[in-house]
Amino acid sequence: MISFIPNIVFVLIFLFAIFWFSKNVKKIYRNINLGISIDRNDNKKLRTIQMLKIAFGQSKMIDKPIVGLLHIVVYVGFLVINIELLEIIVDGALGTHRVFAPFLGSFYNFLIGFFEIFALLVIISVIVFWIRRNVINIKRFLSSEMKGWPKNDGNIILYVELILMFLFLTMNGADLWIQNNAPEFNYINAGSFPVSQYLLPIFDTFSSNTVFFIERTAWWLHIIGILCFLNYLYYSKHLHIILAFPNTYFSNLNAKGKFSNLKSVTNEVKMMLDPSADPYANNSNEEIPKFGASDVFDLNKFQLLNAYTCTECGRCTSECPANLTGKKLSPRKIMMDTRDRLEDVGKIIDNNNGKFISDGKELLNDYITKEELWACTSCNACTEACPIGIDPLSIIMDMRRYLVMEKSDAPSELNNMMSNIENNGAPWPFNQMDKLNWKNEI
């Protein structure tokens, strides 16, 4: 029975980690579904191609070649090295050692060698990323919204990735030493170790039992670290590792400059243009939908998905002309504030048996200010710059729509322009009869 205790412990830890991760995934799913439903199930083929190209293929990362290449290395390394996670899970549950080796033969050696090379590349990339974040004063990492937790979160992930890669190589190096020098542990001879083989001189200074302890400790810390990392994603910007796929699949396929129209407003305009239309044809008891958005409940589901998917990389803000000219607007902050508000709403629901009780706050004013919204030029640079298709502009425009159509709250310049259009048929403060006076001056 004693020999099965490590396997039982492993299974319990693994099941608890999966349970906790599933619980948090359900919270995210519930929070996203607080938004308004819209149909984005059209053109499945194009959406699938877009997801494979942008999320899986990292196509929008290569516009910055060096950083893009390093990110792709970390991303691919994360994917391929975690293939070995399948073997670790089986070995942990059954008490076996490199259980896939007999079935894969020489290909198994290639895989392990491939994993190790990528582990080394990931270590190099992570170090470069840490230097860029903490030593080189890159402007987009120094914005006010990146102070405190966002900055710490980015560094924590880098530290975790670094530790996991070192544990992986330490585990493999100790495993190789045992294969060569300690037959009493019955480790099968399998795997190619182009990187961890250079650790063997270190292990030569230890006894067999000590190396076995090092190997087992690295093995346990590696798998527990991965399971902890999995559950940490919920609290981190690195949730995009998972959500980038649905986010790119359900992203807007329309032209970037195309704005949506409110159906209720369109119907009113049609009635104004059609003298024969019956204004009482529709059900007068039908509730008129809210114009625009003042809180997360007024945004659609995919805008909320955007908020959870944001990587906080700052490419949007670094391309924003309003931000570059010193305005308060930061598209990255718009997405971070939306996620923060959505998380706060979720906590209220959790604390009130699944019901939302108003906390007296809204996304507008309490999280995002009017100054930020009106600083936007609606140029779409932020949307174009985002490597995973996030659209801050859609949230900005919906909140502007609320200010104008629900609150009649717009900058004086805009109010004057709209009054001129209403009264003069043009944005300029000239009577319609005086429109052609300019020709008399020629």
Kind plus residue range of the DSSP H or E element containing 125: helix 106-134
Q: Is the pLDDT of residue 126 over 60?
A: yes
Classify the phi-psi angles of 138: left when phi > 0, otherwise alpha if psi is within -120 to 50, otherwise beta: beta
According to the model, what pLDDT value does residue 104 have?
87
* 150 closest CA partner among 29, 347, 317: 317
Q: How confident is the model at residue 1 (pLDDT cuts 50, 70, 90)?
A: very low
Q: What are phi and psi of 36, to 5 degrees?
A: -75, 135
Among 23-32, 252-261, 425-434, the range of highest mean pLDDT: 23-32
Q: What are phi and psi of 368, to 5 degrees?
A: -115, 130
Report pLDDT digits (tens) over 29-53: 999 999 999 888 888 999 999 999 8
* 387 closest CA partner among 304, 303, 315: 315
According to the model, what pLDDT value does residue 363 have?
96
- Show the tokens assigned to 62: 């290569």
Q: Is the pLDDT of residue 258 over 90?
A: no
CA distance 329 to 429: 30
Report pLDDT digits (tens) over 178-231: 999 998 888 989 889 999 999 999 999 999 999 999 999 999 999 999 999 999
CB contact at 8 A, 176 and 193: yes
Three-class SS of residue 152?
Answer: helix
| Alpha-helical runs (H) found in 4-105 | 5-32, 44-51, 65-81, 83-94, 101-104
Give residue 118's identity as a one-letter amino acid code. F
CB contact at 8 A, 138 and 96: no
Q: Is the pLDDT of residue 327 over 80?
A: yes
Average pLDDT over residues 403-416: 85
Average pLDDT over residues 338-365: 94
CA distance 118 to 112: 10
Side-chain-facing half-sphere of 62: CA atoms under 13 Å: 8
CA distance 347 to 146: 23
Three-class SS of residue 328?
Answer: coil
Non-local (6+) Cβ contacts of 351 within 8 A are none
Q: DSSP characters for 213-262?
A: HHHHHHHHHHHHHHHHHHHHGGGSGGGHHHHHHHHHHTS--S-TTPPP--
Q: Is the pLDDT of residue 122 over 50?
A: yes
Q: How confident is the model at residue 424 (pLDDT cuts 50, 70, 90)?
A: confident
CB atoms within 10 A of CB 380: 15
Length of the chain: 442
According to the model, what pLDDT value does residue 178 have?
94
Mean per-residue pLDDT over the chain, rounded? 88
Report angle CA 250, 253, 256 to the nearest 5 degrees. 120
CA distance 343 to 27: 9
Average pLDDT over residues 127-142: 87
* 125 closest CA partner among 148, 158, 99, 86: 158
Q: What is the CA radius of gyration of the chain?
A: 28
Q: Is the pLDDT of residue 168 over 70?
A: yes
The interaxial angle of helices 83-94 and 106-134, nearest 10 deg, is: 110
CA distance 18 to 165: 22
- Show the tokens assigned to 163: 């530790």
Q: What is the DSSP letter of 197?
A: G
Where is pLDDT greater, at 399 or 66?
399
CB atoms within 10 A of CB 167: 21
Task: Say which residue the tokens 């019955």 belong to.
Answer: 186
Report pLDDT digits (tens) over 262-285: 777 777 777 777 777 666 665 555
Q: How confident is the model at residue 287 (pLDDT cuts 50, 70, 90)?
A: low
CA distance 200 to 173: 6
CA distance 52 to 15: 30
Cut 0.85: pTM above it: yes
According to the model, what pLDDT value does residue 48 have?
93
Report pLDDT digits (tens) over 377-400: 999 999 999 999 899 999 999 999
Q: Is the pLDDT of residue 84 over 90?
A: no
